[in-house]
């Protein structure tokens, strides 16, 4: 059996963090002997840190790391990915919008692919978030020729050595590392498999990205994608430069 690191960024998830940690721990960590569970707390201001501290007493393979400051989901995720030590890295979010049992759907393909990523079916997010995802898919197709269905799905397994090579091309300050990782991986010719996964409606916590902040983040994200394309072309990373 493989060795695996479970990585879960968290921010102000006191309503669901204990269930998320316990269910993923029971479903994955307890069943894979060589494993670890890394939760990255992005300086939560609610009871999330206290809950995690109590869980650490009970769950021996639970590791809690903290970002240097409240820096957003992207940096929290990257810290978790870089902290992981096992051969494979499984990333999921802490809001419980996915079914822990579906990890095994991805797991069954890791011998054949370097990255196995979910794509959300019957997505339960707000309408504007679904529209943004469609726009991302169109932009990726136009700029990179990438046909992946859902480059921002937070439910995926990476081969860690391949992930390390990919992260070298992703800006450390990136707000959308999940999207950029799959873009780079596609351009590098890394083997990627997409698997349909269930998506649940968020029932706890608050959605902090909305209104003008959402617009600013969309513009920032688009700029990150454009800058990545320039870097890819500059370094002749992809077949885009061979046309």
Alpha-carbon span 199 to 209, nearest angstrom: 19
CA angle 150, 155, 157 (to 5 degrees): 105
Beta bridge partners of 37: 6, 62
Average pLDDT, the chain: 92
Q: List 159's β-bridge partners, or say none.
A: 88
Tell me the domains of the chain and their CATH numbers: 4-126+148-206 (3.90.550.10)
> pLDDT tens across 126-147, in order?
666 678 788 888 999 999 999 8
pLDDT, tens digit (0-9, with 9 covering 90-100), for 147-169? 899 999 999 999 999 999 999 99
Question: Does the structure show a pLDDT above 90 at 242?
Answer: no
The Cα 9–Cα 42 span in angstroms is: 7
Contacts for 185-191 with beta carbons within 8 Å, 24 or more apart? 185/114, 185/115, 186/144, 186/146, 186/148, 187/144, 187/232, 187/237, 187/238, 187/239, 187/240, 188/237, 188/238, 190/114, 190/115, 190/162, 190/166, 191/112, 191/113, 191/114, 191/115
Question: Tokens 């397994």 belong to which residue?
Answer: 157
Q: What is the pTM of this model?
A: 0.91
Q: What's the pLDDT tens digit per position in 190-239?
A: 999 999 999 999 888 665 555 567 678 889 999 999 999 999 998 877 65
Q: Which three-class secondary structure string do you get for the chain?
A: CCCEEEEEEECCCCCCHHHHHHHHHHHHHCCCCCEEEEEEECCCCCCHHHHHHHHHHHCCCEEEEECCCCCCHHHHHHHHHHHCCCCEEEEECCCCCCCHHHHHHHHCCCCCCCEEEEEEECCCCCHHHHHHHHHHHHHHHHHHCCCCCCCCCCEEEEEHHHHHHHHCCCCCCCCCHHHHHHHHHHHHCCCEEEEEEECCCCCCCCCCCCHHHHHHHHHHHHHHHHHHHHHHHHCCCCHHHHC
- pLDDT(240) > 80: no
In this model, does residue 54 exceed pLDDT 60?
yes
- Strands 155-159 and 115-121, by their bridges, are antiparallel
pLDDT given for residue 238 in this prediction: 64
Percent of the chain with pLDDT over 70: 92
């Amino acid at each position: 059996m493989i060795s695996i690191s479970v990585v879960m960024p968290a921010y102000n998830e006191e309503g669901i963090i204990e269930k998320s940690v316990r269910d993923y721990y029971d479903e994955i960590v307890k069943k894979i002997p060589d494993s670890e569970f890394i939760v990255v707390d992005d300086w939560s201001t609610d009871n999330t840190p206290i809950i995690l501290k109590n869980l650490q007493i009970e769950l021996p393979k639970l590791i809690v790391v903290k970002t240097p400051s409240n820096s957003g989901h992207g940096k929290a995720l990257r810290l978790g990915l870089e902290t992981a030590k096992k051969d494979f890295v499984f990333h999921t979010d802490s809001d419980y919008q996915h079914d822990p049992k579906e990890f095994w759907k991805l797991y069954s393909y890791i011998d054949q692919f370097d990255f196995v990523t979910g794509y959300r079916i019957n997505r339960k997010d707000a309408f504007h978030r679904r529209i943004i995802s469609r726009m991302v898919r169109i932009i990726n197709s136009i700029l990179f020729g990438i046909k992946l269905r859902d480059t921002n799905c937070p439910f995926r397994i990476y081969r860690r050595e391949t992930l390390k090579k990919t992260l070298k091309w992703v800006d450390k300050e990136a707000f959308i590392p999940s999207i950029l990782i799959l873009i780079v991986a596609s351009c590098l010719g890394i083997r990627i498999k997409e698997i349909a996964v269930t998506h649940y409606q968020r029932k706890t916590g608050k959605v902090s990205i909305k209104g003008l902040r959402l617009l600013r983040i969309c513009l920032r994200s688009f700029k990150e994608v454009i800058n990545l394309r320039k870097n890819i072309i500059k370094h002749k990373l992809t077949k885009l430069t061979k046309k």
